[in-house]
Amino acid sequence: MRWLLVVMTLALLAGCATAQEVCTKKGYDPGTDAYAKCMKQQSIPD
């Protein structure tokens, strides 16, 4: 049963995107004001 918990945890984590990934996929370039704004928005909890 422990292996099932490990597999499920890994599957859940694989679906999580980092703030950097989200902002880059939206087309923002690192080092720009728009990228910084996107990163700031990603860090604010819903």
Give the dihedral sign, CA 20/26/32/38: negative
- pLDDT value, residue 14: 59
- pLDDT value, residue 1: 79
DSSP of 1-46: -HHHHHHHHHHHHHTPPPHHHHHHHTTPPTTSHHHHHHHHHHHS--
Q: How far apart are CA 17 and CA 6, in angstroms?
A: 19
- pLDDT value, residue 28: 96
- Which residue's structure tokens are 């597999």? 7
Average confidence (pLDDT) per 10 residues, the chain, 46 residues: 72 70 94 95 78
Domain boundaries, given as residue ranges, for the chain: 17-46
